Structure 1
Amino acid sequence: MDKVGEQVRLHFTASKAEADRIFPALEAVFEEDGLPLAVLELDEERDIHEVSVYAMDDAEDVENRIRDVLAGLSLPRAVEREILPDIDWVSLSLEGLKPVRAGGFFVHGAHDRDKVEPGDIAIEIEAGLAFGTGHHGTTAGCLEMIAEVVEQEKPADALDLGTGSAVLAIALAKLARIPVLATDIDPVATEVAAANVRLNGVADLVECVTATGFEHPAFDREPFGLVVANILAGPLIELAPQMLRHQKPGGSTVLSGILDRQEEAVRAAYAAAGFRHVATLHRDGWVTLHLKR
């Protein structure tokens, strides 16, 4: 029996096509309960995705309902449980966190507040559950590219798709002082993002939402002046046509999470969708692309 008050992640694997059928069915079942759901790509080449439902106290009931959904879709799966540990993720993640400077931004942990220098746009990150602390070549590349685009174009609003720890969303809000929609498919990442947004004093500008793709009601709004997506090459290629629909004419898109060898394929997909390539930034074996509609 699960302990009272502990969070349990119930999860199973499926192909993308199967996950696309399963996720909305689970959403319909658990909508009134308010239970977070997520889909994560584990292996792009082998088409393995992981579907998760997060439960508190009533994991047995939740698992039975998941099995009912899977049975109704004729997609039986072995449902596994993970007891989420009560760990001080903040302390754990900051043990090896070194401050990073990129594009005029200074990304740091609480223990390095004294290293902020005059002129730095400081971004304090206090949790490591979500990807994107500024150390990865993709995040640092995005920070540099964001600084250039904001200075040149002065966008009125922005989208951070796959926000992780919200480093990029916070950077946009602090630099441009514009509204930013920050989304992630993982509810844990969204919680981390929201906490970091509050910590950095930009909660009035950044809205954090758990959303898969562009189907969430949060996207029922005007297209964005700037779109930033630091995810993976495969999903970026797949999302290219939808990215265009959510990009204002003349607006910019910044993409990363792309290996050097994947640049050509991503650029080709976005050219076919109607984007124009502006610049490529190489950093630590990764590329960041600046594209315009």
Structure 2
Amino acid sequence: MRINGWAALRGYTFVVYGFVYLPIMLMGLFSLNSSDLIAFPLTGFTLDWYNQILHDERIFKGLLTTMSVAFPVTIITTVFGSMAALVLTRHQFKGKVAFLALLVLPFFVPKLIFAIAQVTFLNDIGIHKGLYTVWISQALIILPFVTIIIASVLFRIDKRLEEASGDLGATPWQTFCRVTLPLMKNGIMAGSFISFVLSNAEYTVSYFTSGRAQPLSVLVASDFRFNLSPSLNALAMLIVVFNILVIVVSEWFRRRGVQPE
């Protein structure tokens, strides 16, 4: 009996999506279970685990630390990612290939090795660990993602529009502000949202480079090692919902940006 190729591909797709999302669905299910044991059968429905997380001062401080890292990292990567994307797509210079290779190098270096190298370097130059060291370390590994997203938008922009602006007497700065920047704003917005989400989820680099003020990802990982509680499922579901909201808001802004006036 022959199996239709599209049916097999569709089945494979369902298997992959099931493998990815089924654990999240189970996590949400157990976050509503009244039992302390994360196991079947379920004993009842409760929201106490969510109430416990929302009133946990330690988790709240970790969330504030995460936000105090995510916003600066987003600003840093968006600004430097935009500059790098403009250099790669609008200028020709010697060493461009080397610059690109250096930019995407964090893609190919395991985060553990990168984090250990960062800690060793900071110790050698006498810089103590703190939030600013997390900013720098996270920005270095997130910058390539933001740069590629913005560069992909710049590649699709018709350069003749910028050339026409120059022919009409606009200075390079005026051309950038009135032509290039409005056309690349969707890429900048998408890159900034991606940077924010990646910063929130980053654990390895944050674990090695953070000081006493630990981001939420580090706190959650520590709790998973020592105390596997249903309240952690509730916290994970809140983080998932928050990231979904960030993506929805990003898409809403993107669609508004492409609507004709």
| TM-score, normalised relative to structure 1 | 0.24
Q: Which has the higher contact order (CA 8 A, sep 6+)?
A: 2
Larger radius of gyration: 2
- Which structure has the highest strand share of the two? 1
| TM-score, normalised relative to structure 2 | 0.26
